[in-house]
Amino acid sequence: MPNGYEQINTQIITTTGGNATLSPESSDSYTAGLVYSPSWAENTSWAGKLDFEATFYRHVISDAIQAPDAQNILDACVGDPTSVFCDGITRTPGGQINRFDNRLANIGKITTEGYDFRLYWVGPELGWGKLSVDWAATFVDSYKATDIFGNTFSRTVGVEVNDNAIPEWQSNVRIGWSLNDFNATWTMRYISAVTESCSDFRDDTSLSFANLGLCSNPNFDQNALSTNRLGAVTYHDVQAAWNNSFGVDGLTLSAGVNNVFDKDPPICLTCSLNGYDAATYDLPGKFAYLQAAFRF
C-alpha cells in the first residue's frame, strides 16, 4: 500500500482458520513458588486453616501458532507493496482492499512472565456454620510477541487491541459459608484498567475521536497519539448449593446469579463489534442459572 493510502471500506472480509504448512510449537516454562501454611493458625479460635502462596512464572513459546495481528500486518504493508506482509492482501481494480487472508501461522515467539498470589483462610466450626475466604490474583509483568522477522506485535500488557486485552491485574475473591450439606458463595472478579488507541485517522481532524470528546487522553496536535482508558471492572456473583440433595449421595442442586449488580463492560472505541471487548469482559446483563450435578 502506498504512503497516504486511505481505505474507504473499513469492514474488510478476513479469512482465518487452519494452515497445512504449520509446524509444531515448542515452549519452555519456568516457575518458582512459595507456600506458607503456619501451624500457629490451625484450629484456633479465629481460623481452622490459613495458607499463603506466591508463584513467579515465565513462559517462552517458540514457533507460536496464532493468527498474526491483522492491524500490524496492514501497517507493515504500508509504503512497500512488494513486502511479504502484503502477500495475503487482495485488492479491487481501484486499489481498495477487499479480502485479507489471515490464517493461523507460526508467528515467531511469545514471551510472558508474571506472578500469581493466593490467600486461603477457613474459619473455625461454629454453630451457625463455617466461613472461608479464597483470594487469588495474577499480575502480568510482561507480554511480548514477535514475528519470524523480529518485528514486535502491538499486543502487550495493559493495552486493548483487536478486540482483546491483557489486563495487568486480575483478581478473584470468593467468600464462602457452609453448614452441613448447604453452602453459599459470594465472588468478586476484578479486571484492571486497559488503554486503547483513540484515533480513526480522519483527514478532517474536526471529526476525529479526540475533537469529538470521545478520548479520555486526547492529543489535539497529533490525533494519532490520542488514547482512551477502559476503566477497571468488578463483577459480583452469588451461588447457593445443596449437597446430597433429598438424601441422594452425590446429587448437588445449585442456583446462582452472575453479575448481580448488572455491571456493563467499558465502552471500547476500537472494538469491531458491539462496542465492547467480549473476550475480556462479560456479556452485558445479569445471568441466572439452575444446575444439577450427580457424581458417582
pLDDT tens column, 280-296 = 999 999 999 999 999 88
For 186, counting Cβ atoms within 10 Å of its Cβ (0-12 exposed, 13-18 middle, 19+ buried), the class is: middle
| In the predicted structure, residue 5 carries a pLDDT above the cut 80 | no
- Give strand pairing partners of 50: 121
Q: How many CB atoms lie within 10 A of CB 232?
A: 13
Residue at 206 is within a domain? yes
d(CA 223, CA 130) in angstroms, rounded, equals 56
What is the domain range of residue 220? 28-64+108-294
- Give strand pairing partners of 233: 191
Q: pLDDT for 46-86, tens place per residue? A: 999 999 999 999 999 998 887 766 667 777 776 666 777 77
Q: Residue range 259-272: average pLDDT?
A: 93
For 294, counting Cβ atoms within 10 Å of its Cβ (0-12 exposed, 13-18 middle, 19+ buried), the class is: exposed
| Contacts of 203-212 spanning 24+ positions with Cβ under 8 A | 203/6, 209/269
Residue at 85 is within a domain? no
- With H, G, I as helix, E, B as strand and everything else as coil, classify residue 71: helix
Q: How far apart are the first and last CA of the chain?
A: 62
Triad 155, 157, 159: Cα angle to 5°: 60
Q: Using pLDDT thresholds of 50, 70 and 90, give the confidence band for residue 253.
A: very high
Residue at 82 is within a domain? no
Residue at 236 is within a domain? yes
CA 222 to chain centre: 29
Residue at 243 is within a domain? yes
- With H, G, I as helix, E, B as strand and everything else as coil, classify residue 245: helix
Residue at 226 is within a domain? yes
Give the pLDDT of residue 21: 78
Q: pLDDT for 124-147, tens place per residue? A: 999 899 999 999 999 999 999 887
What total number of domains does the chain contain? 1
Residue at 83 is within a domain? no
HSE-CB for 207 with a 13 A CA cutoff: 5
Phi, then psi, of 115 in degrees rounded to 5: -140, 140
HSE-CB for 268 with a 13 A CA cutoff: 26
Residue at 14 is within a domain? no
Nearest residue to 68 (alpha-carbon basis) of 121, 133, 145, 127: 145
Nearest residue to 286 (alpha-carbon basis) of 250, 266, 259: 259
Q: Residue range 108-136: average pLDDT?
A: 95
Q: Residue range 197-225: average pLDDT?
A: 80
HSE-CB for 123 with a 13 A CA cutoff: 14
